[in-house]
Amino acid sequence: MSADYQMQLAPQTLDNADAKAKPLLEKANETLGFVPKMYEGMAKAPGVLDTYLHGYELFREDSGFAPPEQEVVFLTISRLNGCSYCMSAHSMLGEKMSEVPADVLEALRNDKPIADERLAALSEFTKVMFETRGKPTQSDAKAFLDAGFEEQQVLQIVLALAVKTLSNYANHVNHPELDEAFAGHAWQG
């Protein structure tokens, strides 16, 4: 779901990026082997891309969530935001890199119940945090903690919400074309 409005500013690429955006795009190119179209759109306001990349890295490295759990969080938020680009990208990452079980990935992509109780609790708590604007009830938090998560991870979900808000909303107004790397996992909400 992209906005009716589409930004007219040209994407910032390795060829035309300004002094603030270019190092961010160069680092992405070094790390990933390409610059995702999403990054080129976000780099129109380099602070958006810089903040996204920093928060994304911190979540990946320090959240205490295993890689499949990280994808559950990102996919839950991206689905709730209706971001086709991020759903496609994180579906590919979930399958190829984070080893999300196929049935869990399918459930997340189609808004169906998740059979794995721990991952279902994680997705549900992420949804609660999204829908309540970060105001879970005592019982919401208890269900999350009873599933084996730690209290500090409540704030890690807040970080993931911030990161995905940056990317999902930027994608809504930029309408980036899906990169070839993610095309096999295209998703439409």
CATH of the domain at 74: 1.20.1290.10
In a domain, 89, yes or no: yes
- Domain carrying residue 118: 21-183
pTM given for the model: 0.96
In a domain, 13, yes or no: no
In a domain, 10, yes or no: no
In a domain, 9, yes or no: no
Cα gap 119→108, rounded to integer Å: 10
| Run of H or E residues at 162 | helix 152-174
User: pLDDT exceeding 70 applies to what percent of the chain?
Assistant: 99
Tell me the angle at which helices 67-81 and 117-131 cross, rounded to the nearest 10 degrees. 40
pLDDT at 62 (0 to 100): 98
In a domain, 6, yes or no: no
Q: How confident is the model at residue 2 (pLDDT cuts 50, 70, 90)?
A: confident
In a domain, 8, yes or no: no
Quickly count: other Cβ atoms within 10 Å of residue 33's Cβ.
8
Please report which residue ranges of 43-83 form alpha helices under DSSP H.
46-62, 67-81
In a domain, 101, yes or no: yes
**Tell me: the pLDDT tens digits for 81-119?**
999 999 999 999 999 999 999 999 999 999 999 999 999
Residue 130 has pLDDT above 80, yes or no: yes
pLDDT at 5 (0 to 100): 95
Number of structural domains in the chain: 1
